[in-house]
Structure 1
């Protein structure tokens, strides 16, 4: 039974706590500072919720607010987060959750992998929304992002990296829409996180299902670094092979790129079939050919593009957690899971040497014709505007 009455509330002037029952109390600090407080015990943990000043909230209103708050908590909803979420929805600038769902709606049709499509939003719902879902998108800070992933950064490293990457995608979208003055501060966030344990020595690779969206993002702006990275992904080549590529290595009629043996890891010439998408990258760079034989020239005249330029292109787009070399792994995984071409064809496309010396001695083909089909399929998969891939 409730203990307070309208008269007793009005008379409560001495500092202290005046209990109404079921955790509701009037906290009096002075005759002019009196407010309502609800205390709830859940799973052994105490939670206090301020319900407003007595000058604005009457006893009956405080009881109703207390009842609503208890009901929310009983249904598994945090009343504080719910209150902040509703407040954010009232504002013109969306909350992080609203923005994330908008990004998901805009991009989900470009993700052909159903599992990836489902995981993109569920990982944010599980790990990001409880921490920053209610926060206005222009008020999400680096420390908030770090706090959202720190609990799983060491225990679920791959999931944590993906959550961080997706948070960055949402913030970059908000920047492009004019909701934020800055892009995602992921570089500084990563600096503030502990080093993750290494479970494998493999190069960190982007899941191939994420690549069509990444290629679309990469194509939004043309720079030598971004074009080089697009060409590298389209050809599944190594960084050094791309950065040092020259125009006289390109067979325009045969739509092929001949990489001389001295620049190949195996020391043998490697012929790469060029898809229409790869040719389009070269066409964009063709105006630079008159002053430089390097396809991807660096800032200093006559010098090639640095490896850090490709890494920077990744970081600038919020993908500093993957490596440039890792795109070869992405290509290999895609070929294994999404095509029926033999593994030998894929290995030839990657210019991998045959470890079995006897088999290597008898092999006389480089599967060039089959690799034309493979690289065309790869380009089609990467181009999310094309259907049927």
Structure 2
């Protein structure tokens, strides 16, 4: 393609030309006039020994100056070995992928590997509330730092935890877009924190005080359990006792079923779908925990039900408030157990951590310890139950000199 004698045409010549054919402006740019009188801009060039022709737009909509700019950009691409026709096709494909569409694609592609459908719903809700109104309709290839900041800055200091999750999710979507070639390969992810947004936004821990789950001190627990046992033994009261005795998380305990309980072996097997780590968890049951199971009167289906459905996430928390203990949370009893086990017993740390369903060691060690520590975990569960039941009447305290 020769670039000699550029800019041959004038605006008047373009406006008055009527003869069908190609009228050269130079550098491969032509004004094309068809037999019907339609007028458009065309760039002709050779690439790898092959003649190519690329439309640059209607002459009615694109003036001579703009046509020359478009032709010049194409020539720069050719000089870099890039086919401008292919480059335009890729750009159009990228522009067709909006952030909202790609985010939905990412969620659908990964939801099967997440713990529950609720997790996918949380992704959709957070992005739908904070990101989509700002960047949802934008081509994912066009999103830059300024756009990400428009999403995050309004909520970074007022809803820091939520904003942090939104940032992480935007980053994941943009990484996915780059892998799928919806964004330029190797392009910077504008939502990345380390070495990037951390230079612009204040550290989350500095603008949002970490809120730990409020826990009851273990010295108060026996009296609390005595008060709990003295209440009418409805599903929430029984569920809370079971949760405390088994050191379970709320979601693990409230949805427990009789099919998960082996009464003869005194074991509760929680399926991986309800576990935070996504792995099955076997819990040795103390006599007290089995007593709670029997007290439900359930022979099949969910253990703790209200109107034939498992109790809600907030049922046990609501019970604590009715007991005048709105200062503590259900999840906090796990901390109560850990503090007691660490400070008042000689049980191995691994047994304590596995009782809480925490990950310990690599996969080989985890498999070994789950089997090897079951006997110690059963002894730990029995000791915990004995401590929880060491006060039989509300208002009293356990013996001070007892070591468990």
Q: TM-score, normalised by structure 1?
A: 0.45
Q: TM-score, normalised by structure 2?
A: 0.44
**Larger Rg belongs to:** 2
